[in-house]
Amino acid sequence: MRNTYRHMGYNHDIAFKIIYKDIMSKNPAQIDTDFDAVVGVAAESFTDDDIQNITDALHDGDKKQVQALIDDLSVTESAELLEKVVANDRDELIETYLKQFDSETFVELDEDLRKNILEQMDAKQVASIVSDLDSDDAVNLLYNLDPVFQKAVIKKLSAKNRATIEEGLTFPDDSAGLLMQREFVAIPQFWTIGKTIDYLRAAGEELPQEFFDIFIIDPLYQIVGILPLNQIIRAQRKEKIDSLLSNNDLYIIPADMDQEDVAIIFKDNNILTAPVVDSTNRLIGVITIDDIVDVIEEEAQEDILRLAGVSTSGTDMYRDVLNTTRSRFSWLSVNLLTAIIASMVIGLFDTTINQIVALAILMPIVASMGGNAGTQTLTIAVRALATKDLSRTNMVRMIGKETLVGLLNGLAFAVIAAAVTYLWFDDILLSSVIAIAMVMNLIVAGLFGILIPITLDRLSIDPALASSVFLTTITDVIGFLAFLGLAAIILI
C-alpha cells in the first residue's frame, strides 16, 4: 500500500520523514503538531466549491473542463469527489471519465460504495484497475465483491497476478495475510554488501516502488534477518550480510495473525517493516507502517460503531435505506428487550409510585447517572482490552480501581442529588433515598462497566459489540430497584 500522505495530496517523502523523525524521537506532542500540519495542507486544497465546479462542468457537457479538473486531483480528492456527488453524477463520472481516475482512488472509497461502483463495471474494467495496484490493495479491492463477479475479474488478470490474488483471497478476514503486500526484496544470507548493492541497481524496475528494509533468507526461503537500507549504505562492500544481522531485532508475523495484534507489535516495538510467513515459516510478504496506520484507523472506527450497535462494514452512509434499517434493527430489538425488563422492575413498585409522585420525577436521574458512569468505565475497559493494556496481571487492580471510582463519584453525586431533591420537595427522607440509591448504582456501574467486557473477552465474544446492552440493563434495573425499593421501605 502506498504511503498515506500521498493519498492526502502531500509530498509523501517529505511527510513520511517528518512524522518518522517525530516517532523516533518519541515526542507525541510534535507528532500531533506535524501530522495536523500535513493534514492541513491537504484539507485546504480541495473544497465543496471544487466539487461544485466539477459537477457544473459535468452538467454543461464540457468534457475538456471535467477532464482538466479531475486530472488535477490527488487520489484522496478523487475518492472524496466520488463519495460526495449524487448517484447520477457519480455514474456519469465513472462511465465517461474512468481513465482519469487513478486506480488507487477506488482503494480509498468507502467499502460499501466501492463494492457498488465496481460491480456496476464490467469484469475487464475492474481487472485493469486491479492490475495497477500493489498486491495488498488488489486483494482488498476484490475481497468483498460478489463471488461470481470476483471470479470473472480474476479470469481477466495475467497468470502472475491471478495466482497472487487467488492466494491472497484465501486468508481470513482482518488477518496479516490480507494486509501484507507481496512486493519485497529478499537476498541470500551468504551475499556480501557489494553484491547486494549491485543486485539492487541492476533490478531497477523489478523492485517495489517503495521499501525500507531488505529481508535475508536461507535456502529454504525462511527468514533469518532483516537489514534496513541505511545500514547497507553505511557498510563496506566486502562485508558479509550474515555478519550484520546480530544486532537487528526480528519480528516475524504469521499470515493468519489478526491485524489488531500486528498493529500492537508495530506500536510496541517502533518498527517500520515486518516480514510475513506461511505455516512452514517461508517468507511470503511484508507489512509496512502505512498499512498499520490504516489498521489503527479501521479498528478504532469499528469499535466505535460496535459500541453504538451500527454495522461495522463501511460507514452506513452509502447503504440503501432497507439494508441500513435491517442492520440496525437487531440491536434496537435487544435494547427494546432491556427497556421492557427495566419497565417490569418499575411495575413492581406501581403502588409506591402512585402514593409518592415525586418518585416518578426523580427515578430517571439515578438510572441515567449509572448508565453514563458505566459507559465511561466500559469505554476505557474495551480500549484497554483491544490494546492489550488490560490483562490478567493488572485485572484485579483495575476492577478495584473502577469500583472505588464509582464509590467516590457516587458519594459526590449523592450529596448533590440529595441537596437538589431537598430544595425541590422539602423531604429529608426522600433526599436520603436518592442519595443511597445513587451511591449503590454508581458502584454497580463502575464494577460491571469493567467486569462485563472482561467476561465477554474471556468467552471470546467481542466486548465492543455486546458490552453496552448488558451494562444498560444492569444499571437501569439496579437503579430503579435501589431507588424504588428503598422508597418502599423508608417512605411507606
As separate numbers, helices (DSSP H) first and strands (DSSP E) second, the chain gives: 24, 6
d(CA 346, CA 476): 10
Give Cα separations from 22 to 27, 32, 38, 70 (angstroms).
6, 9, 13, 34
**Edge to edge, what strands does the sheet with 213-217 contain?**
186-188, 213-217, 223-228
Quickly count: other Cβ atoms within 10 Å of residue 58's Cβ. 21
Structural domains for the chain: 4-172 (1.25.60.10), 186-288 (3.10.580.10), 321-490 (1.10.357.20)
Across the chain, what does the average pLDDT equal? 83
268: three-class secondary structure by DSSP: helix
pLDDT tens digits, 144-172: 899 999 999 999 998 888 888 888 888 88
Judge whether 2 and 210 are in contact, CB under 8 Å.
Answer: yes
- pLDDT, residue 63, reads 92
Q: Tell me the pairing of strands 283-288 and 273-277.
A: antiparallel
CA distance 237 to 200: 13
**Coil, strand, or helix at residue 162?**
helix
Largest CA distance in the chain: 95
Output the nine-digit C-alpha cell for 318.
452509502
Sequence-distant (6+) residues with CB within 8 A of 82 are 90, 93, 94, 101, 105, 109, 113, 117
Q: Could you list the pLDDT tens digit for every one of the 492 residues in the chain? A: 444 433 344 344 444 444 444 444 444 444 445 555 544 444 456 888 899 999 999 999 999 999 999 998 999 899 999 999 998 999 999 999 999 999 999 998 988 889 999 999 999 999 999 999 988 889 989 988 999 999 999 999 988 888 888 888 888 888 999 889 888 999 999 999 999 999 999 987 788 878 888 999 999 999 998 988 888 989 999 999 988 886 567 899 999 999 888 988 988 888 888 999 998 999 999 998 888 887 877 776 666 666 655 555 555 566 666 776 776 676 667 777 877 887 888 888 888 887 788 888 888 899 889 988 998 898 888 878 877 778 888 899 999 999 999 999 999 999 999 999 999 999 999 999 999 999 999 999 999 999 999 998 888 887 876 788 888 889 999 999 999 999 999 887
pTM of the model: 0.62
Distance (Å, whole) CA 230 – CA 284: 23
Query: Are the C-beta atoms of 70 and 102 separated by less than 8 Å?
Result: no
Label each residue of 290-331 as H, E or C.
HHHHHHHHHHHHHHHHHHCCCCCCCCCCCCCHHHHHHHHHHH
pLDDT tens figures, 387-431: 777 888 889 999 999 999 999 999 999 999 999 999 999 999 999
- Angle between helix 147-155 and 123-131 (nearest 10): 70
In this structure, the dihedral spanned by the alpha carbons of residues 126, 129, 133 and 139, taken in order and rounded to 10 degrees, is -10
Cell reading at 415:
450529596
Q: Is the CB of residue 173 less than 8 Å from the CB of residue 147?
A: no
Task: Name residues whose C-beta falls within 8 Å of residue 382's C-beta, 6 or more positions apart in sequence.
Answer: 303, 307, 453, 463, 464, 467
